[in-house]
Amino acid sequence: MLDKISFTNKKRRSRYVRDLKNPPRMKITDRDTEIVKIVADFRFATVKQVALMVNANDQTTRIRMYLLWQNKFLDRLNLPVFVGEGSPPSVYVIGPRGKRLLAENLGVDPNGIVKVDCSRNYFFLLNHTLRRNDFRAVLYAACRERPDLKFLFWKQDKDVGDSIRIEYGRYGNLKRVPLVPDGFFGIQTPSERIYAYVEIDQGTIGHKKFLEKQRGYFKWWLQGKHLQKYGEKNFRILTVTTNPRRMANLVYTTLRVKDSKEGSGFFWFTTFDQINPESPLKIFDPIWIRAVASNGHLWPLIGRLEEYPISTG
């Protein structure tokens, strides 16, 4: 009877406050190490993003990440709650013990892991990074669901980028334009490899600045810099933006990369709502618009399985 009373009166742990005196016990598994590594790579990560990356259900992933947080392998940002919007999803970052775990188990240099100060306001950076991470996680999960595709790599930040000089103004002066995308990925299909830069647009950049960067990308492509740098001719610039109206304006702006205002099929566009974590394969569907004059129909990012001649021998 005493045992029963003791059990039923046991205090439930808070979902929001760490138990510093008596954190829940856990045995670190290879999956836990993988989760910590993903959070470190993503910088900011949600449960859904990590679940997509490790191919696990949301609830199992949520429990493991909660335990990793309680034991300081992960930290968590305290996000503001706005009236009428409900609680925001938990956003995890690497914790102090997480750095040591990656160093010991995977040989990762802890000095190379970006430290996140959980007391700072990362509002703009956070939203931009989470959008990028949604795209990355959905793309990775979609490739896993397609037996004909192989996800080759994802690179970002200091690992990618270039610059080029373009003409501007009436006198044709040269201006250096940095070309630093938010992400860079490669996918192997049965017939070819596809490489693409990813740009996350939150509607904060003006059209003049956007056109300047698009012209830089176009000249970079015309000069074969993608071949020189990566050895791959099948290259695209993908822009994911806020809504259809913004997308239409960006497409119209991009048409001006050529003096003829014909645009280029090198540039692809879609909106955030089409990158659906609940339906990853949709990313390959005809949800993309190419910046080509008089071309309003939608394109698939990658053809369907039945469209490729698969060898059986």
Which pLDDT score is estimated for 39? 98
Tell me phi and psi for residue 278, to 5 degrees. Answer: -80, -15
Which pLDDT score is estimated for 161? 84
Name the CATH code of domain 2-109 (choices 2.60.120.310, 3.10.105.10, 2.30.29.30, 1.10.10.10).
1.10.10.10
> In whole angstroms, what separates CA 216 from the centre of its chain?
23
Question: Position 104: which residue type?
Answer: E
Which pLDDT score is estimated for 309? 44
Q: 262, 295 in Cβ contact below 8 A? A: no
Q: What is the CATH number of domain 133-307?
A: 3.40.1350
Domain ranges in the chain with CATH number 3.40.1350: 133-307
Which pLDDT score is estimated for 101? 96
Domain ranges in the chain with CATH number 1.10.10.10: 2-109
> In whole angstroms, what separates CA 47 from the centre of its chain?
14
Below-70 pLDDT ranges, the chain? 1-17, 20, 79-87, 118-121, 123, 169-171, 294-295, 304-313
Which pLDDT score is estimated for 3? 43
